[in-house]
Structure 1
Amino acid sequence: MCGRELDYVKKAFESNYIAPVGPQLDQFEELFSEITGLPHCVAVANGTSAIHLMLRCIGIKPGDLVLASTLTFIGSVAGAKYLGADLGFIDCDYDTWNMDIDVLEKEIESLLKSGIKPAAVLPTENYGQPCDVDRLRSVCDRYEIPLVMDCAETVGATYKGQHVGHGVKAAAFSFNGNKIVTTSGGGMVTSDDGALIDHARYLANQAKQPGWQYEHHEIGYNYRLSNILAAIGISQLEVIEQRVQRKREIFNQYKDELAEVPGIRFMPDVSYGVGNRWLTAVMIDEKEFGVDNIAVMTGLEAENIESRPIWRPLHTQKVFANCRVAGGQVAESINRQGICLPSGTSMSNEDVTRICKTIRSLCKTRSLRETG
């Protein structure tokens, strides 16, 4: 928390708008639009519901095929399954850890030759890393396939000087409790298409027709964000620049202090944008470091330091056993070796140094032990 949340929550209580409607909700949406430059947005319950609504609003229906990232959290693709769609998973690349655009294009060409046209492409921007939207769009436009983006982890990140979320049919963001800015739970659907967002807002409010009668022409959802949670979000958005700066400082400190440790490779920076470094993610090469990523996580836990593995690729999950996959080996390799290190903006430099010291102590490479 940045300190002003209670002031905005007090205003929300004073307004007596406790339900998912009210002045703070309107202000939160307006502020998000102002900060990002994304002209139309609707705040909803969480990032998963934002992606579900986004896919519903571009017309995804049962039997459609959605091509999605395999290296991601299940919330990225659950919405497609809610709608009865089929999923095809696309591998990532080592340069970005995001969807491999070359693999995507080959998969689309293969599908078209067999008479199948994907209904949408849904890449995830992993760990705050922006995707190369221009390249993605050039592929999708060539085959007239809608491009929608899972930006759940990239609030505050930029692509070619603009906030992420531009240049696609629609984008979804998350304000979950672990995100760079939070409303405890919450999400946002954004688009250049005002009609799409109007429809999303309508569906998020149980698809209730205007007027005092409870009249419905479509089945909707109870997805609107609470006015109280939106009040928290206003304060959070006011400090987004400082949050991104601190996240990147933490990443750079890790990188500097672990630079001489063999077998540690950091998630790369891309040339076309600036990630928010939501989490500092690394790969541990067991041969070079001396132990694997599980041993490192266990060693950190022994010092009361929480870490987590990289996302388990979705194509390896039992629930998606019957889904098609293009590639997958890169995602599996990153998952096998990857660790997410503590990255909270409340961490001190001393905290990061303690974590780095612990990681160094876990390295079993002789040369490192001999040199200290």
Structure 2
Amino acid sequence: MNRTVHLSPPDVGPLEESYLLAALRSGWVAPVGPDLEAFEREVAARVGTRGAVAVSSGTAALHLALLGVGVGPGQSVLVPTLTFVATANAVRYTGARPIFVDCDPRTGNVDVALVAELLGRLRAEGERVGAVVPVDMFGSCVDYTALLPLCAAAGVPVVEDAAEALGATHRGRPAGSFGAVGALSFNGNKIITTSGGGMLVSDDTALLARARYLATQAREPVPHYEHREIGYNYRLSNLLAALGRAQLVRLDSMIGRRRALRDRYAKLFAPAPGVRLLGEDDAAANCWLTSIVVDPGRAGWRAAELGTHLAERGIETRPVWKPMHLQPVFAGARSLLTGAAERLFADGLTLPSGSALDDRQVGAVLAAIDEFLTARTGAAPA
């Protein structure tokens, strides 16, 4: 039996089973059907946009979103260097070039002041900037109050990578609703899952219609198969949409469990010198993943040492994202850096955060961390 405590395992149960069985028994097994249409409506209502298009992955959503705002060859797109590779890969799919921007060390989100500086430089150089793609890191929204006006002033559309942030808000506005279009992910470890899947969300109904057309192999609306453009096989299946609908019903309770676990981590590490939670001041985050940042000079230990200690006890952790400018595939790409992302990669550790973790698993994780801290500080166990 596998007893590993994973970072964010899928949280599924009887409700998801009932939705899937109902979809299966309805006969709508093909990539379209009533659950797919309902899932799009329900997610759009949750995010607060006029519409949505469900697709096979968050990466597909990003690709279509970039195409929707006109990104293509000969353009540059500003992307956080601290992100999962899909954000940058989607830019390359369009033929554009990613330019990487460093992060705010407090939150891990893109440094808005650096975005402003870089947009000014690129304008002076005559560079064609197709979009800015902020990423809501680990479920905490970017400072859109600052970012959106400067992008609007530069005439550059914003494509929000909200893959990690469904259910989070910024000043009361839901993640995914900022900019021209947003992209969500329903991968197996995300806040809700459809096994694999994603969604575009936007108020621009023409952009969404274009995305739906491209996602269905760009098939023309005629009785036979006719194609005037290159399209993609990107649509989500009706069965997976049924799973997503059940997950969406439970979204708030799952966020609540993740927030409660984050609070327990915060209390456990509070007495430890040189340790903080990444984005700890954001009460509106969905707490998809909780990461700590360790100052080894103050703490007397490194994040990787705690990771090793937990791995020996069957507890999964991982570093914060390796910055894109350090990835071999993007060697030589232009970047504007402060060193913040590299420090987070060196000193950060992501801890088990899933809503499916039971009390026994949570207790084991907290006890193992307490054991480690006690051994390093000599203090009495918490």
Query: Shorter-chain TM-score: what band?
Result: over 0.9
**Correspondence for 1:302:** 312
Aligned mates of 2:298, 2:359 — CA distance in 1: 27
Contact 1:290 1:365 in 2 (8 A): no
Q: How does 1:88-103 map to 2 (within 5 A)?
A: 88-103=99-114
| 1:206 and 2:217 are equivalent in the alignment | yes
Q: 2:107 is paired with a residue of what secondary structure?
A: coil
How much does 1:270 deviate? 4.6
Amino acid at match of 1:125: D
Give the corresponding residue for 1:317: 327
Aligned position for 1:358: 368
Aligned to 1:286: 296
Aligned to 1:6: 17
How far apart are residue 49 of structure 1 and its match? 0.6
Q: 1:369 aligns with which of 371, 378, 381?
A: 378
Secondary structure of the residue aligned to 2:167 is coil
1:66 aligns with: 77
Structure 2 gap ranges (5+): 1-11
User: Which secondary structure does the structure 2 equivalent of 1:189 belong to?
Assistant: strand
The normalised TM-score by structure 2 is: 0.93
What's the offset of the Cα at 1:350?
4.8
Contact persistence 1:289–1:365 (CA under 8 A)? no
- Helix, strand or coil at the partner of 2:129: coil
Alpha-carbon separation, structure 2, partners of 1:354 and 1:6: 29
Give the aligned partner of residue 258 of structure 2. Answer: 247
1:195 paired residue number: 206
Q: Which runs of structure 2 are paired with 1:202-281 in the superposition (5 Å)?
A: 202-270=213-281, 274-281=284-291
Q: State the alpha-carbon separation in 1 of the partners of residues 50 and 164 from structure 2.
A: 20
Cα distance per residue 1:42-100 (max 9 Å; x no partner): 00001011100101111111121000011000011211111111110010012321000
Q: Output aligned runs, 1:130-209, within 5 Å.
A: 130-209=141-220
- Of the three residues 65, 74, 77, the one matched with 1:54 is 65
Question: How far apart, CA to CA, are the structure 2 residues paired with 1:243 and 1:328?
Answer: 35
Report sequence identity in percent: 39
Amino acid at match of 1:300: L
Q: Is the 8 A contact 2:269 2:276 kept in 1?
A: no
In structure 1, C-alpha distance between the alignment counterparts of 2:374 and 2:168, rounded to whole Å:
36
Which segment is superposed worse, 355-364 or 227-236?
Answer: 355-364
- CA contact under 8 A between 1:293 and 1:338: conserved in structure 2? yes
> Residue 201 of structure 1 aligns to a residue in which SS?
helix
Shift of 1:15: 2.3
Q: Following TM superposition, by how much is the alpha carbon of 1:349 offset from its aligned partner in structure 2, in angstroms?
A: 4.4
CA distance in 2, matches of 1:155, 1:333: 27
Measure the CA separation in 2 of the matches of 1:328 and 1:321: 17
| SS of equivalent to 2:288 | coil
Checking the alignment, whether the CA contact within 8 Å between 1:291 and 1:363 is kept in structure 2 is: no
1:351 partner letter: Q
Stretches of structure 1 that go unaligned for 5 or more consecutive residues are none
Residue of structure 1 aligned with 2:38, choices 14, 27, 36 = 27
- Determine the C-alpha separation between the residues in 2 that align with 1:136 and 1:3: 42
Distance 2:315 2:345 in 1: 20
Structure 1 residues 370 and 247, CA, compared in 2 at 3 Å: closer, same or farther?
Answer: closer
Q: Secondary structure of the equivalent of 2:14?
A: coil
- 2:356 aligns with 346
Could you say which residue in structure 2 is the equivalent of 1:124?
135
Q: 1:198-231 deviations in whole A, cap 9, x for unaligned?
A: 0000000000011211111111100000111111
1:60·1:83 contact (CA, 8 Å) conserved in 2? yes
Partner of 2:95 in structure 1? 84
Task: Quote how far apart the aligned CAs of 1:365 are.
Answer: 7.6
Aligned CA distance change for structure 1 residues 225 and 335 (closer, same or farther; 3 Å): same
Contact 1:158 1:164 in 2 (8 A): yes
Structure 1 counterpart of 2:343, one-letter code: S
**TM-score, reference length from structure 1:** 0.96
Kindly indicate whether the alpha-carbon contact (under 8 Å) linking 2:160 and 2:178 is maintained by their aligned counterparts in 1: no
Q: Letter of the aligned partner of 1:189 in structure 2?
A: L
Change (3 A) 1:49 1:328: farther
Aligned-partner Cα distance in 2 for 1:211–1:17? 22
1:154 shift after superposition: 0.2
Are positions 1:42 and 2:50 aligned together? no
Once the two structures are TM-superposed, the CA of residue 364 in structure 1 deviates from its matched residue by 7.8
Deviation at 1:118, TM superposition (A): 1.3
CA contact (8 A) 2:160 2:181 kept: yes
Which segment drifts farther, 347-356 or 309-318? 347-356
How many aligned positions are there?
Answer: 370
Shift of 1:347: 2.0
The offset of 1:234, in angstroms, is 0.6
CA distance in 2, matches of 1:46, 1:207: 18
Contact 1:50 1:172 in 2 (8 A): yes
1:66 counterpart SS class: strand
